Structure 1
Amino acid sequence: MYIVKLTIFWYNIVNPCQIYDSGRFAKCLGQQLDHVPWNLLPSTLESLDLSYNEIQAIYADDFSRLHSLRVLELQFNNISVIEDHAFHNNSLLENLNIFNNSLEEVPATALQPLYNLRRLFMSNNLYTKAKLADKVFSSFTHLQILSMGGPLVKGLRKGDFQALKNISLQEFNIKCSSNISYYEPGSLKAIQTSSMGFDIAIDQKPHFLPLMLQDLASKTFSQIQFRNLFEFMYYMQDDDIFRNLPDINVHQLIFHRGKFNENLLRMALLNLQVTPIKHLTFQYIDFARSPNFVDSGLNSSIKDLALDRLDLWHISNPDILRFDWRFTWFNKIRLLSIQNVNFNSVPCDAWLEMGGMEVLDISNNRLQNNFIFNQRCNYRGNMPALFIFNVSTNQLTSLRDLASLTSKFKQLQVMDVSNNLLGSAKESHNCYWLHNITQLIAHHNHFESGALKCLPTTVQFLDLSYCDLDQLDMAYFQQTTTLKELWLNGNKIKFIPSGWKSHSLQSLALDGNSFGIISIGSFQDMPKLSRLTAGNNPYHCTCDLHAFIQDTISKRRINITDWPKNYKCYHPEALLNTAVAHFFPGNVACDIRLVIVICVATTAVVVLVLVFICYIFNIPWYTKATYQILRAKYRAHQQGAYGGSQVYEYHAFISYSHPDADWVRDQLLPCLENNKPPYRLCIHERDFMPGKWIIDNIIENIESSRKVIFVLSHHFVNSEWCNYELYFAQQRAIGKTFNDVILVVKEPIDPESLPSKYCKLKKMLNTKTYLEWPQQDKQQTFFWAQLKSVLGKPTLIRQHAASGRGSMVSSVETVSEKDTGAEYRKGR
């Protein structure tokens, strides 16, 4: 195997032929070869194409190594010689094509080993005779297709094809000279074939045609084709050369190329009226009026031509449609196809003569609106059997005119209006269609969105592909309640309308548009949709697109026919040209439920952390205290009691807990207030103003005192109000150096054992010098001296505005509106 591959690789480097499929096929066409490159061809070849070269001869060794050869293409060369043993080792050959070469004789000896031949094409050579060697060709029992003859074959003789009398062919084609000189009756009787092709011009010998037809009498053919029956001149005689046509049982008769006039056409059709022919084709015919044609009225008309199909293609003169000045020959035609005839009008009587027509194809005729629709014609009752109407590839612009024309065609169900100029909103109003139209093919037009309202609403199949649509008119599609299949591919649609509802749609084609967003909800209101084509769009690769693809694939309700090949990302730029099938966004980015869970969990964690921090650092307590300060300041401002220059009423404010009150009254106050001059001190039991809020009293008296003395003890630490007073003093000291705060430690306190809310107190105890109350009497004198030194010398202090305050405070117990004095003392 390795050696075979290496050999093929070498062949492909130096070989003018393309070798492929593991050395089974070789293509050497059009390489200007003048000989067969036998030494460059692998022996494993089964098919070899040497057509369109300049090969002049086939030698015995050219194909001797190709034992497996089955197909050999040698057409369009200049082969004049094929040696007798050229195909000696090619007994498996089934298809041989030596069409259009320069052979002067049929290479019978060379062909003799090819007993497996099925298709042999050897016409258009320089043979002068069409004689087939009986010994050779009678052995081709597998032969199915044979083409024979050439431009120099002057005629046919009775024994030319006797070798084929026991061979049943599928197709036989014979070509003779344009100037045929002889034809012996019985020349074609030996031919047994399903399809017969004549490339014989009878311009000079028109009487040969009845002889040929007579040889085919009583035989059955699927098709007979006459090519260039009259190549250079029109038939001007009166003899009926088609008189033997009724004796032939043929399904399709084709006249390809050649010249026809009215007389010859009428002659052929008169005979076809009494034949079993069902399919008649005229293509590439040069038609002309007959100068000697005599119109005998309806007696000369063709009225009984019953055909399943009549094709009139590429006719030079549209007068062929009414060659006898009438359209009666269309009366019993079921399918009429008129293409590239370029007629420019349809008279009113033409529609009347097509009463039995079921299919009318008038495509490719450059028709304009007024060519087929005449407002002066009465179309009522016309075309009662018409089922399919094809007007594609013309120059029609008005849907309104088409609707008016077909509104009287009671059985019409299928219309093809593709490749026209339809779609202008101006030409698309007041359209009244019959309710029986179920299929409308309208691709390759230029539709404006507003023109959709002029389309029939009863369609089950609608093709609007390649119509330059940039948006869809939902008002029209809401009316198409029976629509099952819709093709919108190749347009410029920028978005899929939201809320598109269709309870009947089963198949939808949207590929090749301009929309980039598609989601699960795009087709959720189409419960019967089972087939979707939506590739080749500039997709935005988002979670919605990913969710749609995954949902569609998993549920298998909709078959995406062009997935995944035609689906690529256009946006974002980082994913440009990435296959949508390879786009996998993270679950966090796309799953909204997961996002909600993560958000809720994160929020809960944050809340818990904040609660924990608040608990550790007593944030609620500080918040409450700050609120109380602001509230007190606000009340003071409202009462005009806050503001002005700072004048202190007391030398010091004493903050202590209730269990330490005896020490304050018995030790601290007497020592300081009996001093000469005395210190004026503020304690809550004596100096707080009755009737005021406790918080207001605390703040006002702290701010009215030059210093604040804190009597620290374990009871102080456990007192809520003492904590407030400490906090308020700290707030007053913001921006200062805390020189107005004096700490008196009445009993030993470990700073590290203090609660977290006393963080400032901890710092002051660790960084600030404090006074510690000595238990020995001898040391107490020094303590008082230190305290007075810190307080400074007493100076004159202004008197409180309310007289008799000192005597009143001590007696106040339950004056506060919310926080009574009793509660305040209890809390301390």
Structure 2
Amino acid sequence: MTVFCTDGVIFPLMIFILVQNGNGEECTKVLNNRHYSCEGRNLTYIPSSIPSSVETLDFSFNLLPSLQKHLFPPLNDLQVLDLTRCQIQYIADDAFHNVKNVTTLILTGNPVSYIAPDSLNSLHKLQRLVLVDIGLLSLNVQFNNLTKLQELKAGSNKIQTIALPPFMINFKDFCVLDLHANNISRIKVNHTAVLREMRGNITLILSSNPILHIEPGVFKDIYLKELNIQSAFVSFDAMRYGLKALSGLNVGKLIIGNYIIDKNIKISDADFLDGLCLINFNELYFFQKQHSDYEINVFHCMINATKITLKEVHIGAIQHVSFRQLKELYMQHNQLPLILEISHLHLLEKLVVVYQDPVYLRGLRDLPKLQYVDLSTNKLHLFDCCSEFFSGMPNIHTLNLSFNEIIYLSKNPFSGLDSMKILDIQRTHLRGLNVQFKFFKSLKNLQYLDISYSHSTFLRTMTFSYLSSLKVLNVAGNNFQGDALNYVFQNVTTLEVLQISDCGIQNIDWRAFQSLSRLRHLFLSQNKLTVLDFVTHPNLRSLTLLDVGTNSIFSIPPHILQNLPTNLSDLDLSFNPIECSCSHIDFIMWIVNHQQLFQQSTNISCEILSQDSKIRLIDFDTEGCVHIRRLTIVLCICAVTFLVIVSVLTYKFQFYLRYGYVLLRGYRASRQQECSYDAFVIYSSKDESWVMDELVENLENGSPPIHLCLHVRDFEAGKAITSNIIDEGIMGSRKIIVVVSKHFVESAWCRFEFEVAQSWLVMQGNANIIIIILEDVEEKSKKVFGLHKHLKNNTYLKWSGNPINNMRFWIRLRKAVITRN
């Protein structure tokens, strides 16, 4: 918590909410009578309002220290029970007897100290058991009757071994064992005895464990669906030898590497992944954040993989690696410039190389099975794109070259790419656009095209008509020369979604969309449109969404409103300068009466010219145009003025309002409260060194010791500041010591504490304030309400650097504190 007297910081007005503890609150019905949420309701019992038909019950963050047999009412249909962080310490036998049909039980974050032997065994249908962060020391929990169990999640505990209880051999459907973030440091051959007998398609998660040693052969001849050992080794040496010890393992997906950067660790061996050559895996996920001074030898042990994902590794080139069956390759945030030469990967189907800086394409061709290519965000400079780089790839259906630097299109850039369905080149500078867009001629199967913000200028001679299958087109952020908009979209009869936002368009002729009879979504936001005449064209009858937000539309005439497409269900007029006046009352009333059309109705504001202000259009008082327009304007002005005055006064006197509340609260408190401290010290945090070194040292360590209340030390954490001031400081102390300095006078919180203390003691009829002057503040003391007057009418102590005077100072101060009024 921030120190109270920190200079220059004025805390906002605090809102106090009285909560009745223990009684809890009603639960919320999420879905019919099948899903209820009681999350964080301060409940100590299961409310009777929950019906027996409930299937999902979220009871997390409540107070259930003990689970007894009859805690749950009969809920025979309950399938999912979430008891996350309910402070459960004890689970009795048959605690879940009345909810025995539960299939998912979540006990995350409970400080469980005892689990009775038969506490879980009534859950015969349980499939998913979550015991994350409950202090488990081992997996020897008696749940032998849970033969339907499929997932056991026991991460973030204190388990030291992966050994499963022998009875789990009978769990035929078991498939997930999550032991992440435990204390597993050694894995021995006998630890996998049960796992070996289960012979299941199991996912084993050991990430974030401090593994130091793995016995060779521990997973030999075992098949796992997935093994996650990411950030699971204490060092790279342990990882190197650990991978070698996994010799003979058969795994579908292997996840290795590190989640976070450890600046104290650097990769010192380029071949530390050699152990992968001894493991049979289909998919590999390698995420390595540690720094390496040289290129890591990654691929030589991955030649049999079908899918490889690499993130933040040190690879300079992909070339001459004899992958035998690689189908998918993902690379992200590689830390070296990358040379991509993969023409030999004839089985490759999906290639994703993103966030590289930079990428050099040298051998990306003759990949007949390649279907998906994502080379976005790589600062690519492509010359003579794109057939030169993607030749011999007739099956590519998705090509993403977005967010790159510049692409020079060749004469026939997409020849041989007849199967292309999705082409994304957004936010990339396109050069060499053919005058008539003839380079699209071969893309007859293209359905999605995004060339937005590509620095393109469209001429009237250009057309997208070659794209006979196009459904989605995004050309936002480009320019249309002259009346080019009237011709560019001619004969694109299959188009369903058109995005031409932020193109500087001022008006649109009806001919622009005359061929788009199937158009359903039209985005025209961030342009300069003033009228929507084109929307009434008969060929736009299929339009369901029209976005004309952030344009220059101030009104729409009635004849256009009456002829909008009948299927229109979403009209966005947000952030337009709509004029709210009686001359446009028909338009305003139409919007108010058709709010179902506006998904962003709260963003539709209108300008009231006479007031030079904006309001939400749906809040405009239409009756005022006929009856009380003048009165409405006067009242609005008065209301604004009143709010300004109230706001100014509230801001100026916020501290007085605050401590007025504190005094009222304190006045209602018991006057018989016993004092815990001899004195409460009010001081600036900038004077803390003097308070700790001089005041505390001399008073608390003197004879007799004087017990001081210091906010930095004695205030209760999590409690409101003003509550601490009145409860711990003022009401809990016999005297109040005020350390006055320049810092004190300048501190808003110090002034606040002094004024509260002064007012409180006046109400109590005594004067227990002891003033200590650290430095001369005669003139500045007037800033603090009552301080200047108090100094004139009462004796105070003044600190000096003279040892003799200081000795007298401590005698007088100790006497003042000890003396009882």
TM-score (norm 1): 0.50
Is 1:303 the counterpart of 2:363 in the alignment? no
Aligned mate of 1:362, from 391, 395, 400: 400
Give the distance between the partners of 1:461 and 1:311, measured in 2 at CA: 28
2:446 maps to 1:411 = no
Q: How does 1:95-244 map onto structure 2 within 5 Å? A: 95-106=128-139, 108-135=140-167, 137-164=168-195, 165-166=197-198, 168-169=200-201, 171-175=203-207, 177=209, 179-187=211-219, 189-191=221-223, 193=225, 195-199=226-230, 200-201=232-233, 203-204=236-237, 205-206=239-240, 208-209=242-243, 212=246, 214-216=248-250, 221=252, 223-226=253-256, 228=258, 233-234=266-267, 235-237=269-271, 240-243=274-277
1:422-449 per-position Cα deviation (integer Å, ceiling 9, x unaligned) = 698x566664657135325356945778
Counterpart secondary structure, 1:146: strand
Q: Distance in 2 between matches of 1:70 and 1:265?
A: 42
Amino acid at match of 1:185: G
Q: 318, 321, 325: which one pairs with 2:357?
A: 318
Matched, 1:279 2:324: no
On the 8 A contact 1:395/1:420 being kept in 2, the answer is yes
Find the residue that maps to 1:414 and give its secondary structure.
Answer: coil
Contact residue 420 and residue 446 of structure 2 kept, 8 A: yes
Look up the match of 2:427: 395
Shift of 1:387: 0.3
Aligned-pair RMSD on alpha carbons?
A: 5.6
Q: Give the letter aligned to residue 475 of structure 1.
A: R
Q: Is the 8 A contact 2:408 2:431 kept in 1?
A: no
CA displacement 1:492-536 (0-9 Å, x = unmatched): 885353762439x86643378786868899489xxxx9x654467
Select the residue among 414, 417, 427 that pairs with 1:384: 417
Find the aligned partners of 2:334 and 2:45 in 1 and give their Cα distance.
42
**Cα distance in 1, alignment partners of residues 243 and 343 from structure 2:** 22
Alignment pair present for 1:69 and 2:97: no
Identity %: 11
1:733-780 alpha-carbon deviations (Å, 9 max, x no partner): xxxxxxxxxxxxxxxxxxxxxxxxxxxxxxxxxxxxxxxxxxxxxxxx
CA contact (8 A) 2:343 2:364 kept: yes
Q: Structure 1 262/479 Cα, relative in aligned 2: closer, same or farther at 3 Å?
A: farther
| Distance across 2 between alignment mates of 1:101 and 1:489 | 52
Counterpart amino acid of residue 327 in structure 2: K
Does residue 487 of the first structure (1) align with residue 535 of the second (2)? no
Residue 280 of structure 1 aligns to a residue in which SS?
A: strand
SS in 1 for 2:141: helix
Whole-Å Cα distance in 2 between the matches of residues 101 and 534 of structure 1? 49
Q: Structure 1 residue 304: deviation in Å?
A: 2.4
Would the aligned equivalents of 1:269 and 1:305 in 2 still touch at CA under 8 Å?
no
The letter for the 1-side match of 2:236 is D
| C-alpha contact (below 8 Å) 1:457/1:476 kept by paired residues | no
Are residue 467 (structure 1) and residue 501 (structure 2) matched?
yes
SS of the residue aligned with 1:384?
coil
Q: Is the 8 A contact 2:472 2:497 kept in 1?
A: yes
- 1:719-742 per-position Cα deviation (integer Å, ceiling 9, x unaligned): xxxxxxxxxxxxxxxxxxxxxxxx
* 1: CA distance, partners of 2:479 / 2:112: 59
State the secondary structure of the residue aligned to 1:373: strand
Instruction: Work out the CA distance in 2 between the residues paired with 1:414 and 1:17.
Output: 60
Residues 347 and 287 (structure 1), Cα distance of their counterparts in 2 relative to 1, 3 Å cut:
farther
Q: Does 1:476 pair with 2:516?
A: no
State the AA in 2 paired with 1:362: N
AA paired with 1:464? Answer: L
1:559-604 superposed Cα distances (whole Å, 9 cap, x missing partner): x9x9899799999xxxx979xxxxxxxxxxxxxxxxxxxxxxxxxx
Whole-angstrom distance in 1 between the partners of 2:382 and 2:416: 14
Structure 1 counterpart of 2:406, which letter?
I
Structure having greater relative contact order (Cα 8 Å, sep ≥ 6): 2
Q: How does 1:428-827 map to 2 (within 5 A)?
A: 431=462, 435-436=466-467, 438-439=469-470, 441-442=472-473, 445-446=476-477, 452=485, 453-454=487-488, 457-458=491-492, 460-464=494-498, 467=501, 472-480=508-516, 484-488=518-522, 491=525, 495=532, 497=534, 500-502=537-539, 508-510=544-546, 522=563, 533-534=569-570
- 1:47: Cα distance to partner? 2.6
TM-aligned CA deviation for residue 373 of structure 1: 1.3
Q: Is the Cα contact below 8 Å between 2:350 and 2:370 reproduced in 1?
A: yes
Distance 1:372 1:42 in 2: 67
The answer to whether the 8 A contact 1:197-1:225 is kept is yes
Q: Structure 2 CA distance, aligned partners of 1:413 and 1:211? A: 51
Deviations 1:191-210 (A, max 9, x none): 454x5544345832435436
Unmatched runs of 5 consecutive residues or more in structure 2? 1-24, 30-36, 306-321, 579-583, 606-616, 620-821
Measured in 1, the distance between the counterparts of 2:459 and 2:199 equals 61
How far apart in 1 are the matches of 2:247 and 2:459?
54
Deviation at 1:380, TM superposition (A): 4.5
Counterpart-to-counterpart distance in 2, 1:75 and 1:516: 60
Is the CA contact (8 Å cut-off) linking 1:388 and 1:415 kept in structure 2?
yes
In structure 2, C-alpha distance between the alignment counterparts of 1:437 and 1:262, rounded to whole Å = 47
Which residue identity is paired with 1:309?
K
The structure that is helix-richer by fraction is 1
Cα distance, 1:470 vs structure 2: 7.7
Name stretches of at least 5 consecutive residues in structure 1 with no aligned partner.
1-5, 550-559, 579-828
C-alpha deviations, 1:96-119, integer Å up to 9, x for none? 22235542212x333323222232
Structure whose CA Rg is larger: 1
Partner SS state of residue 352, structure 1: coil
Question: How far, CA to CA, are the matches of 2:216 and 2:123 in structure 1?
Answer: 36
Question: Could you tell me how far apart the structure 2 residues matched to 1:404 and 1:262 are?
Answer: 47
Q: Confirm or deny: 8 A CA contact 1:384 1:409 kept in the other structure.
A: no
Distance 1:508 1:326, change over 3 A: same
CA distance in 1, matches of 2:490, 2:83: 55
Instruction: Specify whether residues 82 and 414 from structure 1 end up closer, same or farther in structure 2 by C-alpha distance, changes over 3 A only.
Output: farther
Compared with structure 1, are the counterparts of its residues 50 and 489 closer, same or farther at alpha carbon in structure 2 (3 Å cutoff)? farther
Per-residue deviation, residues 762-814 of structure 1 (Å, max 9, x unmatched): xxxxxxxxxxxxxxxxxxxxxxxxxxxxxxxxxxxxxxxxxxxxxxxxxxxxx
TM-score by length of 2: 0.50
Q: Which residue of 2 aligns with 1:345?
A: 381
Distance between the aligned counterparts of 1:465 and 1:167, measured in 2?
Answer: 54
Kept in 2, the 8 Å contact 1:124–1:151? The answer is yes
The CA deviation at 1:254 is 3.4
> How far apart, CA to CA, are the structure 2 residues paired with 1:412 and 1:230?
46
**Could you tell me how far 1:131 is from its partner in structure 2?**
0.8
Contact kept, 8 Å, 1:18 with 1:27, in 2: the verdict is no
